[in-house]
Structure 1
Amino acid sequence: MAEVLRGLERRDGTPQVADVTAAGASALGVDALAVSLRAGDGTEPLWCSDETSRRFEDLQFTLGEGPGPDTLRSGAMVLVPDLAQVRSDRWAALAEEATPVRAVFCFPMGIGAISVGVLTAVRRTPGALTTSQVGDALVLAAALTARLLGNGEPEATAASLDPPHTLHRAVVHQATGMLSVQLAVSLPQALLRLRAHAFSSGRPIADVCHDVVERRLRLEHDDNGTPPPHAEKD
């Protein structure tokens, strides 16, 4: 982990934060890490070390529940060594849909009362983190927060954070706006309809939103997604 942190402090562009998250997963003894930033009432994933972590972040977003959202709201760690053992009234749908993830560990990213985001570690097998691993994860979360905030140095701008070329959920925001206008509902209600359709259809929410934006899918007031009867014109 000391080597991971030294790499994160470098400003020459190598390694990038995406590389650091992959190395951090190995150092913490987990299968994958994800770094998500606060965006409104939810999060926007910036870096995921593999597809497993990205899918889990999407699942939490679709369901609107899970250890990540809980950490974002409370500002406290949420450590789940075995999702299968979580009581049914906590995250009922998440435990059933989270395959292949079995263990999740979420660490707050922030300064004082200011919440910046969440560092999420996932495992494909159940098992708790050791005290040392929890300590390392908290240090990594703090280091990532400092990197994202630029350490207060003018030259450390957002451009130094090697972000993805596009925000992962940009299409979700676009589809939410379109659906809000089409159905004359609020943005939160439109997002709930998109989430409900993604969950009921078993599809990633990003795929559903792409279809809405490209007008391949039209959601009606009854939440049933149907293809448009003909191509729509702007």
Structure 2
Amino acid sequence: MDDRVTRIRTLIEGEPTSPGNRGSLLHRACTAAAHTLSASGAGISVMTEEGARGVYAASDPLTEHIEELQFVLGEGPCWDAFASRRPVLVPDLDGESPTRWPMYTPAVHDSGVRAVFSFPLQMGAVRLGVLDVFRKRAGSLTGEELVTALTFAEVTMTALLDQHEDAALNGLEDDLAETVEHRAELFQAQGMVMVQLGVPIGMASARLRAYAFAHGRRLDEVARDVVAGRLHFDRDRP
């Protein structure tokens, strides 16, 4: 495993737990990102091609409010980052054109935010949302901070997929034979998607898991549909 990824995961695991917080692991990821990047806050929003949109976790209540504003107003850096598949880096909101986010910019400015950096949560063609980092002072991220933020986005993407899969597995009967059968079917489905899309097995697995996440389905159900020919991953589908 990459040393940087290992370090970021260690930072996240070192954050105090918050049992009452939705998506406790991702809440810790936001808190760790805010601390590590000297930010006032960080938030994770889910945005998928299939229409799932909303704030999933935030480091603090104010940041959660700022994240939610993007969905209330229908504009903001997370929308641009998700659509462009590229980070949106705004080191000084005061220097932005007032026509870029005419409603969002004044609202976050009133909250004391002066800089925002948005990173799409993606793996190849798969996108699940955006990690937003906010600062109350203007200024660009350093080269090291930028790489660190991108690593936080990578770890968060994996955490979202893992969390969805774990929730699905916890709903299964605790039966070894059934579990083995599900795994065998999953491996077969991964191989089929790999051939359908012409991608490595790791990417095929990510596409399966992202589809399950976006549609609110269990991974084993999606795999079963692929194996049965009821679900096909078109090479041209984003």
User: TM class by shorter-chain length?
Assistant: 0.5 to 0.7
1:123 aligned residue: 135
Gaps of 5+ in 1: 161-234
1:207 aligned residue: none
* 1:117-163 Cα deviation digits (max 9, x unpaired): 10000011211111110100001100111111129xxx951379xxx
**What SS does the corresponding residue of 1:92 show, helix, strand or coil?**
coil
Does the CA contact (< 8 Å) of 1:106 and 1:118 recur in 2?
yes
Q: How many equivalent residue pairs?
A: 155
For residues 170-185 of structure 1, the aligned pairs below 5 Å read none
Q: Identify if the C-alpha distance between structure 1 residues 64 and 25 changes in structure 2 by more than 3 Å, giving closer, same or farther.
A: same
**What SS does the corresponding residue of 1:16 show, helix, strand or coil?**
helix
Does the CA contact (< 8 Å) of 1:148 and 1:158 recur in 2?
no
Q: Distance in 2 between matches of 1:156 and 1:43?
A: 19
Q: Which has the higher helix share?
A: 2
* 1:23-62 Cα deviation digits (max 9, x unpaired): 2211111111101111554631111001221111121112
Q: For residue 141 of structure 1, what is the amino acid of its counterpart?
A: A
Q: Distance in 2 between matches of 1:105 and 1:76?
A: 11
Is residue 84 from structure 1 mapped to residue 94 from structure 2 by the alignment?
yes
For residues 91-130 of structure 1, the aligned pairs below 5 Å read 91-98=101-108, 99=110, 100-130=112-142
**What SS does the corresponding residue of 2:103 show, helix, strand or coil?**
helix
Match of 2:9 among 5, 8, 11: 5
Q: Distance in 1 between matches of 2:39 and 2:7?
A: 17
Q: Identify if the C-alpha distance between structure 1 residues 118 and 88 changes in structure 2 by more than 3 Å, giving closer, same or farther.
A: same
Q: Distance in 2 between matches of 1:121 and 1:47?
A: 12
Gaps of 5+ in 2: 19-23, 170-238
1:198 aligned residue: none
Q: Distance in 2 between matches of 1:20 and 1:77?
A: 18
Moved over 6 A (4+): none
Q: Distance in 1 between matches of 2:120 and 2:69?
A: 19
* 1:79-99 Cα deviation digits (max 9, x unpaired): 001111101221122221112
**What SS does the corresponding residue of 2:128 show, helix, strand or coil?**
strand
Q: Identify if the C-alpha distance between structure 1 residues 159 and 68 changes in structure 2 by more than 3 Å, giving closer, same or farther.
A: same
